[in-house]
Amino acid sequence: MNPPESSTASSSPSSIASVTRREWHTSSDEETAAVGRALGETLSPGAVIHLFGDLGAGKTVFVRGLASGLGIDPDEVSSPTFTLIQEYRGQGRHPLFHVDLYRLAGAEVDDLGLDALATEGIVAIEWANRLPASQPHAIVVRIDDEGDDRRHIQIDTPSS
Q: Does a structural domain hold residue 107?
A: yes
Q: Does a structural domain hold residue 6?
A: no
DSSP 129: G
How far out from the chain centre does Cα 110 lie?
Answer: 19
Q: Does a structural domain hold residue 11?
A: no
Q: Does a structural domain hold residue 55?
A: yes
- What integer is the mean pLDDT of 48-73? 94
Q: Does a structural domain hold residue 95?
A: yes
Q: Give pTM, 2 decimals.
A: 0.84
Residue 96, domain CATH: 3.40.50.300
Q: Does a structural domain hold residue 86?
A: yes
Residue 106 burial (CB < 10 Å; 0-12/13-18/19+)?
Answer: exposed
Q: Which residues contact 57 (CB under 8 A, 6 or more apart)?
A: 143, 144, 145, 151
The H or E element that residue 143 is part of is strand 139-145
**Contact call for residues 132 and 106 (beta carbons, < 8 A):** yes
What is the per-residue pLDDT across 85-136, written as a single tens digit (0 to 9) for each?
Answer: 888 886 788 999 999 887 766 666 666 666 777 778 999 999 888 887 778 8
Q: Which residues contact 55 (CB under 8 A, 6 or more apart)?
A: none
How many domains is the chain partitioned into structurally? Answer: 1
Half-sphere exposure (Cβ direction) of 26: Cα atoms closer than 13 Å: 26
Q: Does a structural domain hold residue 3?
A: no
Q: Which domain holds residue 67?
A: 24-154
Q: Does a structural domain hold residue 18?
A: no
